[in-house]
Structure 1
Amino acid sequence: MSTLPDHGRELIPRPAQTPDALRAALAVVAPGRLGEMQATKDEAFAQAVEWQSLSPVQSWVLMWARDIEIARRPGLSSRHARAQSTLENEDPATAQEALRELSAVLDEAMKAVRG
């Protein structure tokens, strides 16, 4: 599994980190996840009110920006899917390598959106 950064083509430009921009981007790159996005948004906003803090909303924005970053970059998306598919491999070394690769993909995506 490659841990090299993916600087290839992108399906869409990186969206702004606002709920509306993230929703619009997700509708293009992973429309099947829109329901999940709304449910987690509702939870984050409820938690923000309960805690009297914006940190749950900020976490929600970063999580979805990261996931959209992965989905909008085919190379990164392929690495993510490969790593996830081998996480539960019977060979511990293979599963461990998949976990390292998944972590590398998530780190790369998070660095890109925090950039």
Structure 2
Amino acid sequence: MINRPLCALLLALGLTACASDPAPTEQLRLTEQALTQAKALGVVGEQSESLRLAEEKFAQAQAALQDGENKQARLLAEQAELDARLAEAEHLSDKGREQLAELNQRIGRLRQQLGGM
């Protein structure tokens, strides 16, 4: 004989497994925010493969949402957010390398000036 609380738990789990995923509106908002932030830093889709992928996945997520495929929309939106954040990190890393190279050039010039004295 099956225990009543166990039966109720199994029934509840079965019903939630059949329930559809909620619309990922918050995830889509976070993804859009990450895309906006990357673009505000100067990341351009033509120059950044990661940003281009993020934009494509975001568009696919919106289409999946329109088709009622909430789980697929959530997964694509999460991937798009991560791609946008990667694009931002790559951009900041490139800028840091450029600044470091410029500082090294300045240091070299200062050393030459000091050595010539």
TM-score, with length taken from structure 2: 0.37
- Please identify which structure carries the higher helix content: 2
User: Which structure has the greater CA radius of gyration?
Assistant: 2
Q: Which has the higher contact order (CA 8 A, sep 6+)?
A: 1
Q: Compute the TM-score of the two structures, normalised by the length of structure 1.
A: 0.37
